[in-house]
Amino acid sequence: MKALFCTTHPGPLQGFPPPRRQPYTRSAMTEPRPAVIDFYDRHPINEAQILAALARRGKDPRALSPEDLYEWDQDHYGGLPAIEALARRAAIGPRSSVLDVCAGLGGPARFFARRFGCRVTGVDLHQGRCAGARRLTTLVGLHRQVRMVNADAVSLPFRTGVFTAVVSQEGLLHVPDKGAAIGECARVLMPAGRIAFSDWIATSRLEDGERRRLEEWMAATTLLTITGYRAILARAGFTGVEAEDLSAAWIGVLRERLTMYRAMREDSVARFGQRRYDEYTQLYQFFVGLVEAGKLGGARFSGTAGRGIS
Ligand SMILES: C[S@@+](CC[C@H](N)C(=O)[O-])C[C@H]1O[C@@H](n2cnc3c(N)ncnc32)[C@H](O)[C@@H]1O
């Protein structure tokens, strides 16, 4: 099969490690869109709805600050305190070179850049979300500090050992081969670089039928237990691994998110139709129910890169 090259990421920016070119196969462009892409094509957190919310607040689009976006551009659980916690685990400071894997619309990436003055590269599989992230980043004037690269977490288009920190929030749940993704994170980190990420975790009580529904409805796949994640982090050479179980705290956070999605009804129906709105709220309710029942939860992992994997 002939390999095509993705050129959707911008050229190298000053101070950023240059990206490698990323091969994509022709089939990826002609076959039906993968479930995860389809899921984010129709996600209620999107660039258009963020801009509409800002307009309703009477914000001038020519005079926006990163803070103006924070209420809407974070697609993870726990809001800004969760990113602060991740930043502490990843030892992010002004001199850090940070990679945010599964960066979405770039909300956390912009937060790191604004809060710490560091450079951040965001990677996301969804081309539209990368483009939206770039536009939002330019709107708030952070385009010299934050760049977005359209790529798959299992095949990062960067040289070995170029980042001081790798972070990720609620994104790896979509990646079928989490071992490959964590291996790539280890590869692109400098020796003694830090990884910190949060993700869904399964418990032994999660049933096969429930796993299947999460995969079919939310493109959530191969969900790991805390022990499973510890094993792949160790295999990738990370040491001093810490795992914090966030499941209890997530119950309240997720109930609030369900309320937030319901409050976005008018915009979501206008954009994706009543049927998709109903479907999304129903599947989110199912997801929250699994967390309430202790079948699914979340955890924050952190560790230090070793000398790399052989
Ligand atoms: C729930 S969003 C999280 C976005 C962001 N981390 C945040 O906190 O706002 C998950 C993101 O993961 C991305 N994603 C899914 N699979 C991916 C993959 N294999 N490689 C890179 N990004 C991926 C999706 O496109 C989506 O934007």
pLDDT (tens digit per residue) in 166-222: 999 999 999 999 999 999 999 999 999 999 999 999 999 999 999 999 999 999 999
| Ligand 1 pocket member 195 (CB < 6 A) | no
pLDDT(252) > 80: yes
| Ligand 1 pocket member 125 (CB < 6 A) | yes
Beta carbons of 197 and 181 less than 8 angstroms apart: no
* 211 to 28, 114, 243: CA distances (angstroms): 25, 37, 22
Give the chain's domains with CATH numbers: 3-8+35-304 (3.40.50.150)
What pLDDT, on a 0 to 100 scale, did the predictor assign at position 61?
87
Beta carbons of 163 and 157 less than 8 angstroms apart: no
| Ligand 1 pocket member 202 (CB < 6 A) | no
For a mutational test of ligand 1's pocket, the pick from 124, 218, 221, 260, i.e. the residue with the most ligand atoms closer than 8 A to its C-beta, is: 124
Prediction pTM value: 0.90
CA 232, CA 299: separation in Å to the nearest integer?
Answer: 15
pLDDT(287) > 70: yes
- CA 168–ligand 1 middle distance (angstroms): 8
| Ligand 1 pocket member 76 (CB < 6 A) | yes
Average pLDDT, the chain: 90
Confidence category of residue 33, pLDDT binned at 50, 70, 90: confident
| Ligand 1 pocket member 40 (CB < 6 A) | yes
| Ligand 1 pocket member 199 (CB < 6 A) | no
Specify the residue with its C-alpha closest to ligand 1, atom 9: 75
Asked which of 22-36, 37-51, 261-275 is least confident by mean pLDDT, the reply is 22-36
Q: Which of 284, 176, 276 is nearest to 220 (CA)?
A: 176
For a mutational test of ligand 1's pocket, the pick from 6, 125, 134, i.e. the residue with the most ligand atoms closer than 8 A to its C-beta, is: 125
| Ligand 1 pocket member 74 (CB < 6 A) | yes
| Ligand 1 pocket member 107 (CB < 6 A) | yes
CA 140, CA 245: separation in Å to the nearest integer?
Answer: 34
pLDDT tens-digit map of 54-95: 999 999 988 999 999 999 999 999 999 999 999 999 999 999
Beta carbons of 134 and 47 less than 8 angstroms apart: no
* Strand 239-245 versus strand 296-304 pairing type: antiparallel
- CA 227–ligand 1 middle distance (angstroms): 23
Kindly state the average pLDDT of the residues 254-265.
94
Confidence category of residue 6, pLDDT binned at 50, 70, 90: very low
pLDDT(13) > 60: no
Confidence category of residue 32, pLDDT binned at 50, 70, 90: low
pLDDT(104) > 80: yes
Listed in sequence order, the residues at least 6 apart from 31 whose beta carbon sits closer than 8 Å to its beta carbon are none
Listed in sequence order, the residues at least 6 apart from 75 whose beta carbon sits closer than 8 Å to its beta carbon are 43, 45, 104, 105, 107, 170
Q: How far apart are the first and last CA of the chain?
A: 28
High-pLDDT (> 70) share of the chain, %:
88
